[in-house]
Structure formats: structure tokens, C-alpha cells
Chain A
């Protein structure tokens, strides 16, 4: 019987059968339903065949396919099995030796030009990508910039050509970049990933080639305790901050801290720095905190350069300069007029610390004793509380509150500082234990709604690890219930929710302290207590004389040594800016004459950009108070495009017109790592492979096994058989291979 069947099938086959088979198989792959219809059509056409032959043919194609599929599955299983075995043979230790070679293929050196005029620094960072490999490369480099930097420029130098980058909406910038990259054009894109984390991508760097990207930004210098300072972050602290991701990609995976390598790994990262401090006044001292520098006085100020020519970017650069006593500013006003609006920057130094005396206040200490405070955090927090009690003076009132799932108040209402009340409080603190959940809302409510002690300023000090998920709601509550109280937040431990803590303090017109290590508790806490027991300037109001849009919107109290710093947009030049406030219970007033303002030239739109940057930050923050995300995104994008700023929704992109990489030449993507900070105790390792995939293998192979065995049994009981059976006896091996190919 099989003989006769074989002749029938074979006689049908030669002319067009194989082509049709081919078609049918392809259709099967693409659309099983279609294949089914096709075989029906085929059956109708084969009207010469008997019905038995028809069904035999159908079985044949069905069984052929099954068998071939099954063999394919087995081959795939074999490949996966082998690959898993190879991966398993690698030992994952602490050194990334195998990967070090990859890192040196593409190196990035950094050259920084810094120009400081007054309170604004213009920084230009040149990243030099050198491709030491023999292939075209795309470099991806993550680098830090200071929070609040207004990034507005990018320039790329390919050979002798200079190309200016432009701000585009994020998605369209990506598209522009992607197109250029695929077309073989040299292109670059700079994106913001987190508040302080940026990424440069540079496509089509030829073998042996060097390409330079220059990124420019504006930054306000800091001013406190009569010293100006500027800090340029160079590397990321490799603190593992689990759960602190601010951006997420499509799989919900935290978008990636930057790769880091030790400084001695031969990975480049050379640093050059040139700073010019433009000033007509003499400085009492200029210091670089972490680098040896060469400082020279020149005609219009000072120049500062790094002494060590082989410096690498493994630590932050910090420059500080102190004006001599007579040239200390008490207030400074700068304006810029762009024809439509006037942008103003007002800086005001507070009165000296020794001119004010401590003032009685009501201190409410709130401590988080939830389960997440267990471990090192609670002892740190307890120590911080004991410090707080020590800093109280005899005129003060105080209270203590602990919360986890429950809220517990020590005294019904705040009590004066006496020996006995301190004794009770000390016992309360030492008896604290961490347990339960973090229900912060009732605790906030309880602390803020305590009966007031007349005339005293209420300071609420919140000590927590900030492990909260409902930040929106809590911040709204702080904003709603705060009244006249001030809120200070103290974050404890390695991974606090620092955004929440900082914002809560901002809304509460207080300050935020983060204590990462147990040995920092004493120093940080006494600094905080020392500062806040002196009541500085409070309830500050600013009268711009016109409708002004200014930031920060909530003006904080001015504690000793901290300046008031405002950026505003006004419809016209200010004539008089009136400041008022409360200093030690007395009214305080100051008028700043608009005519005294230093005016920046028409080309220097720095103030406009810095103002826009502040506004963007305020818009980002408004998301926490339930602002519509889409509307906010549009607002930010609009502002960023108007003022030419890089934000999370807008990127800088530059494309070289001439394609250089020929079609077909491959390009490898390389993540260029940053350097581990100097002195970091951390070591880095790759992640081990931690899956066997046994279940999938088992299910697949059992499936194949059942199928093959049943076919085997089926063929023995239902003879005659089709070609499947013939695979085993009559069909040659060559024919099998041919069928497999056709399939």
C-alpha cells in the first residue's frame, strides 16, 4: 500500500506541486487560516484524485509540518541549552575585567571653560569623544550638571566644521537624531534624564576619529556667610538608591544610573579647566576646595587653572571666593530688558548673625517610628532628638510626637522646658521602637493643629526616612494646615525621598537636612539647631511696584548667613522695590532703588534664561499638586522653546549634513562610563545570570515528546501512512533535507 501511495504523490509533484507547496507553507507561517482556505482550494482543483487520496494528502502536509516544526523546536532548545551552559561558565566576581576592554574603545575627555560675572556663571563643557577602535561608533555618555542649570547651547566640531545645535521638542529631536544616525551623518543629541543627570549621544564617530561636543549652560553662584561659591559636579556618587527612580522606561525598569569605572582603569576622562572670575573688586580669598589650582590676577579679574596636567574627572570642582569686608554686598539688583519684558535678579544678604538674639519659640519634634526606620535609622533619629532637647532654651515650649500606623503625642499641648518635662521627654525618646506602617497624614495633622502657645513661633521638625508613596496628598496637607508654622525636615538613612522632604521644607518656609551616615548626626543636627534658634527675617514680602512673576513663589525665612534670592519678570523697568518683613518682632523695611540696578547688555539674555529655568522648575513641582501632566508638559515645552532651554521635554540636537559612514558599514553602540568618585569605598560588579529556564524547556520538550510518540503510535495503528512515515524507511535523507529547505 505505501508503494502505491508513493507513486500517486510523486506523480503529482513534479510540475507545479512544489511551488504550490511553497506558497501554502508561507501562507501557513503568515496566516494559518489562509493556509486552510488554500488547501481547500487545492482540494477542489485536484478533482482527479479520489477522496481517499485527498485526505491522505492533507494528512501528509499536516504531518510533514508537524514533524518539521517539532525538529525545529528541538534545534532551538539545543541552541538555548548550549548558550545557557556557556553563560553559566562565567564567574561573576567584583572586577569587570572582561568589560574593561570595551570601555577603552571610546574615551571621553572633558575641558571646562568657566566665566563668572557677578552672580551668574557661564559654563562651557567640551566633551571630546575619541574612537580608538577600528569600527564606527556611537557613544553614549551620562554626565552630571548642577540642579537648576539652564542648558541653552550645544556645538559640535567635526574636523574643521562647526555645527550649532538647536532646541527641539524631545520626540522630534530623537527622530532627527535617529534619521541622521541611520543615514551615516554625524549627529548628536543631549537629553535631560533626571534633575542633575544628562546624556549625550554621538553617532557616527569614524575609526580613529576625535569629535568634540561643547555644551553651554548658565548657573547662579551660591552665596552664604559672605562667601560666593560654585560647584561643578564631575561624577555621580554611586549611592545605590533603590526605588528612587525618577524616570522609567517602558518595561517599568528604573532608568539606569550611569556606568562607573575606577580612575586607574585607563579609560581616559582627563580634565582641563579654565575659569575666569570677572570682577573689578579685590577678593580676600579665592579657594579651590578639591583641586590644586593656579590663580592669577589679570586686568579684569582673575583666572584660575588646574595645576595638575593629568587631572581626571573623579571629583567635583568647587571654587569659592570671598569679597573683602568693605565690598560685601547687602543687596544687589540686576536687570535685563529684552524690549518686551524686564527680567530682574534681586539678591539680599540678611543682617549679621550676632546682631540678633535668640527668641522664644515652640518646637514640635515629630519622629517616624515605622518599620522602615528599623536598623540604623532609628538610633540616628533618637540621637538627633536628644540633640534637639539640649538645644532648647528655658523660654521655649516643646512637644514630642511619634507616628507609625498610629500617632502618639507626648503632651496634650506643648509644655515649657523644665527639668521634669525634659526628663519625661528623654524617657519617651529612649523607649521608642520601630514598628508598623508609615501613616504620615494624621501625624502632620496632629502636629499642625496643636493648640497654639501665644506669641511663639512654631517650628515643626519632622524626622523621618521619608518612605512615603502619597507625596501629593501630604504636600497638599502641609500647604493647607501649615498656617504660620515653619516646617523643617530631617531625612535619615541612605535612601530618603529627598524630593518630598525638600519640597515639604520649601512649602513650610523651613529647611531640609539629609543625614546619610551615623557619624554625621551630631554635626548636622547642631548646625540646624544653631541656625533655627536665631529668628532671622520672617514673613518677607516683596513689592515690585508692578505685576511681577517671581520665583521662588514662597519666600523662605532668612536665617543668618542665607541670602534672599529672587528672579522676576516685570512689564517694565522697576523704579523702586520695597521689601518688608519681621525681624525679632519688629517691622523691617528696605527699599531698593531701581535706578541703581546694574543693567546687562541687550545680547546678554542670561537673566531671562535663568528666570525661565526657575519657572520651569516651578511648573515641574506643580505636578505634585495635581497639575494636569499634559498641560504642564505643553507649558514647559513652550517655555523651553521660547527661551531656548534644555529640559526633560526638549533636547538639543545637531546634525552634520554630509553622510560619512557608508551604507553597510556597521556601527557599535558604546556606553562610555563615568569615573567612580575619588575615595569611594564602593566596588562594582556585573550582574550574574540568574535563570535556568528549565520550566519552559521542560514544557516544550514534553510537548514534542508527546507529539512524536503519538505520531509514532498513530502511524503503527493506521497504516498505510503518508510521506511522514516514509521519512523513516523509503524516503532518502536527501529528500528530507530538501523538504526542510522548502519549508
Chain B
């Protein structure tokens, strides 16, 4: 029996295989895209540092790189994007504050728990977080980590406070997305 006959006889199985293949690639595309975007963003970031005002990572991008977050102990380096939308989150951690880094001292970054912010579960209190914006380099130390319930709590942005907050979904190994819990890492600046 050749392939043609096989497909004609077992069209349902064939269809299932094709759809499953699609979903596999669709799922695989998420981490690949996350990784790929970071490379393109890295290049855009260099152009930003060279003075290009609105360096786009790819021609149709509607976001831009605004900072680099580094965790020396874990060897992590992530390019942070402006605007905390689902689309941007696919490419990198994003700044939740509207209006960019320069307007706020209470900075909140969010990232996906299964791509860019996967490392959050390995953070320890006292870990160094280095944030490089186009204007400055700030060092923060992780001081608190906790889980909160997003149905019952709000994100508080208080510019009388100087700190860096990293947000991601919780629990880290939950199978599906969209759960109500969030993991919140609070870091305070080093003098």
C-alpha cells in the first residue's frame, strides 16, 4: 500500500497527525521566538546605545528595547521591552510602568515564567540584579520573594519607593497558562 492509499484510507489519522504536528511547531515556536527575538533586540540595543533614537529590532516592530537586565550569578542577560502586552512578552521581559524608566523609581518588570523569567525560581535573596538603561547602570539586591493571588491583590506602583520588582506566573511548573497566582521578586537598590 503506498502513501497515497494510506492517506485516503486513514484520512482521520492523517488529519490528527497533521494537526498535532502543527501544535508541536506552534508550541516550539514560542521558545524559539523568545530566543530569536532577544538576538535581534541585542542588535537593536547596540544601535540605541550608538544614538539611534528609535531603533527597531525588526522593521515591523511596535516596541523597543529599553534596558538590559543581568543576573551575574546565573549568567542571565535579558533585553527588556517597553509595554507589557502579551505580544511584547513573547519577545522579552517587559516594563509594566507606562512612560519608560526615567519617570519612575518603582520599576516593575514582567516576563513569562516558562521563557525569559524562568530563572526567577533560581533567584535567592541577596542576588545581584543589574539594570542597564541607556542612561545609567543600577544594581539591586533581591530582598523578598513571595507568591500573590492576582484575583485578590493589585500591583502597587509607588514612586516614593526605589526598587525593582520582577513578576512572573506561579507555580513555575504549572501545565497550563492563565493561572491566578504570581511570583513577585522585590529587589532594593545597592547604595
Looking at chain A's contact residues, the main secondary structure is: mixed
A708 & B177 in contact (Cβ 8 Å cutoff): no
Question: Which one, A238, A242, A716, contacts B186 given CB within 8 A?
Answer: A242
Q: Looking across the interface, which residue of chain A has its beta carbon closest to that of B190?
A: A374
Q: Which of the candidate stretches B36-44, B53-61, B105-113 sits at the interface with the other chain?
A: B105-113
Query: A690-B182, A709-B17 are known contacts. Are A91 and B83 too (CB-CB below 8 A)?
Result: yes
B12 & A687 in contact (Cβ 8 Å cutoff): no
A692 & B146 in contact (Cβ 8 Å cutoff): no
Q: Is A26 located at the chain interface by the 8 A CB criterion?
A: no
Please give, as numbers and ranges, the residues of chain B lying within 8 Å of A239 by CB-CB distance. Answer: 158
Q: Which of the candidate stretches A8-16, A53-61, A725-733 sits at the interface with the other chain?
A: A725-733
Please give, as numbers and ranges, the residues of chain A lying within 8 Å of B23 by CB-CB distance. Answer: 74, 77-78, 81, 697, 700-701, 704
Q: Is B76 located at the chain interface by the 8 A CB criterion?
A: no
A374 & B141 in contact (Cβ 8 Å cutoff): yes
B17 & A708 in contact (Cβ 8 Å cutoff): yes
A729 & B8 in contact (Cβ 8 Å cutoff): yes
| Per-residue A-contact encoding for B53-91, CB less than 8 Å = 1, 0 else | 000000000000000000000000000000111110110
How far apart are B10's CB and chain A's nearest CB, in angstroms?
4
Q: Is B50 located at the chain interface by the 8 A CB criterion?
A: no
16 new A-B contacts at CB < 8 Å, known A434-B191, A687-B110, A701-B23: A67-B12, A90-B85, A238-B158, A242-B143, A243-B146, A245-B146, A252-B147, A254-B147, A371-B126, A372-B125, A690-B169, A691-B179, A692-B112, A705-B24, A715-B6, A728-B10
User: Could you write out 16 A-B pairs with CB less than 8 Å apart?
Assistant: A67-B12, A74-B19, A88-B85, A89-B85, A91-B84, A93-B84, A94-B98, A245-B146, A375-B141, A682-B156, A688-B86, A688-B94, A689-B89, A694-B30, A701-B22, A712-B10
Total A residues in contact with B, Cβ cutoff 8 Å: 87
Q: Is A70 located at the chain interface by the 8 A CB criterion?
A: yes
A259 & B152 in contact (Cβ 8 Å cutoff): yes
**Total contacts A to B, CB within 8 angstroms?**
261
Query: A67-B13, A690-B112 are known contacts. Are A685 and B147 too (CB-CB below 8 A)?
Result: no
Q: Is A92 located at the chain interface by the 8 A CB criterion?
A: yes
| Per-residue B-contact encoding for A381-411, CB less than 8 Å = 1, 0 else | 0000000000000000000000000000000
CA distance A480 to B182 in the complex (A): 41
Looking at chain B's contact residues, the main secondary structure is: mixed
CA distance A681 to B113 in the complex (A): 30
B14 & A712 in contact (Cβ 8 Å cutoff): yes
Please give, as numbers and ranges, the residues of chain A lying within 8 Å of B149 by CB-CB distance. Answer: 249, 253-254, 256
CA distance A253 to B84 in the complex (A): 24
Query: A94-B157, A375-B141, A494-B161 are known contacts. Are A693 and B188 too (CB-CB below 8 A)?
Result: no
How far apart are B27's CB and chain A's nearest CB, in angstroms?
4
- 6 smallest beta-carbon distances between A and B, as pairs: A88-B86, A242-B144, A701-B23, A693-B177, A256-B152, A698-B27
Q: Is A260 located at the chain interface by the 8 A CB criterion?
A: yes
Q: Is A554 located at the chain interface by the 8 A CB criterion?
A: no
Please give, as numbers and ranges, the residues of chain A lying within 8 Å of B176 by CB-CB distance. Answer: 80, 691, 693, 696
Q: Is A118 located at the chain interface by the 8 A CB criterion?
A: no
Q: Is A121 located at the chain interface by the 8 A CB criterion?
A: no
Q: Is A468 located at the chain interface by the 8 A CB criterion?
A: no
Q: Looking across the interface, which residue of chain A has its beta carbon closest to that of B169?
A: A691
How far apart are B33's CB and chain A's nearest CB, in angstroms?
10
A702 & B24 in contact (Cβ 8 Å cutoff): yes
Q: Among A249, A685, A691, find the residue whose CB has the most chain B CB atoms closer than 10 A.
A: A691
Q: Looking across the interface, which residue of chain B has its beta carbon closest to that of A701?
A: B23
CA distance A70 to B23 in the complex (A): 13
B30 & A692 in contact (Cβ 8 Å cutoff): yes
B191 & A374 in contact (Cβ 8 Å cutoff): yes
A259 & B154 in contact (Cβ 8 Å cutoff): yes
Q: Is B45 located at the chain interface by the 8 A CB criterion?
A: no
CA distance A120 to B61 in the complex (A): 65
CA distance A77 to B189 in the complex (A): 43
A87 & B178 in contact (Cβ 8 Å cutoff): yes
B window 155-191: CB within 8 A of A: 155-162, 167-169, 174-179, 181-182, 184, 186, 188-191
B residues at A contact (CB < 8 Å): 1, 6, 8-14, 16-17, 19-24, 26-28, 30-31, 83-87, 89-90, 94, 96-98, 110-115, 117, 125-126, 141, 143-162, 167-169, 174-179, 181-182, 184, 186, 188-191
Query: A689-B86, A690-B169 are known contacts. Are A254 and B146 too (CB-CB below 8 A)?
Result: yes
A window 552-580: CB within 8 A of B: none
B191 & A685 in contact (Cβ 8 Å cutoff): no
A residues at B contact (CB < 8 Å): 67, 70-71, 74, 77-78, 80-81, 83-85, 87-94, 96, 238-240, 242-243, 245, 249, 251-257, 259-260, 371-372, 374-379, 434, 467, 494-495, 517, 671, 680-698, 700-702, 704-705, 708-709, 711-712, 715-716, 719, 724-725, 727-729, 736
Please give, as numbers and ranges, the residues of chain A lying within 8 Å of B11 by CB-CB distance. Answer: 728-729
Q: Looking across the interface, which residue of chain A has its beta carbon closest to that of B189?
A: A375
How far apart are B78's CB and chain A's nearest CB, in angstroms?
13
Please give, as numbers and ranges, the residues of chain B lying within 8 Å of A238 by CB-CB distance. Answer: 156, 158
B85 & A253 in contact (Cβ 8 Å cutoff): no
A81 & B26 in contact (Cβ 8 Å cutoff): yes
CA distance A705 to B21 in the complex (A): 6
Please give, as numbers and ranges, the residues of chain B lying within 8 Å of A693 by CB-CB distance. Answer: 114, 174-178
CA distance A685 to B177 in the complex (A): 20
How far apart are A716's CB and chain B's nearest CB, in angstroms?
5
Please give, as numbers and ranges, the residues of chain A lying within 8 Å of B89 by CB-CB distance. Answer: 88, 688-690
CA distance A700 to B26 in the complex (A): 12
Please give, as numbers and ranges, the residues of chain A lying within 8 Å of B1 by CB-CB distance. Answer: 716, 719
Question: Which one, B12, B126, B143, contacts A728 given CB within 8 A?
Answer: B12
CA distance A374 to B128 in the complex (A): 11
A375 & B114 in contact (Cβ 8 Å cutoff): no
A704 & B16 in contact (Cβ 8 Å cutoff): yes
How far apart are B126's CB and chain A's nearest CB, in angstroms?
5
A689 & B169 in contact (Cβ 8 Å cutoff): yes
Query: A84-B177, A708-B17, A711-B13 are known contacts. Are A376 and B188 too (CB-CB below 8 A)?
Result: yes
CA distance A736 to B146 in the complex (A): 50
Q: Looking across the interface, which residue of chain B has its beta carbon closest to that of A372?
A: B143
How far apart are A200's CB and chain B's nearest CB, in angstroms?
15
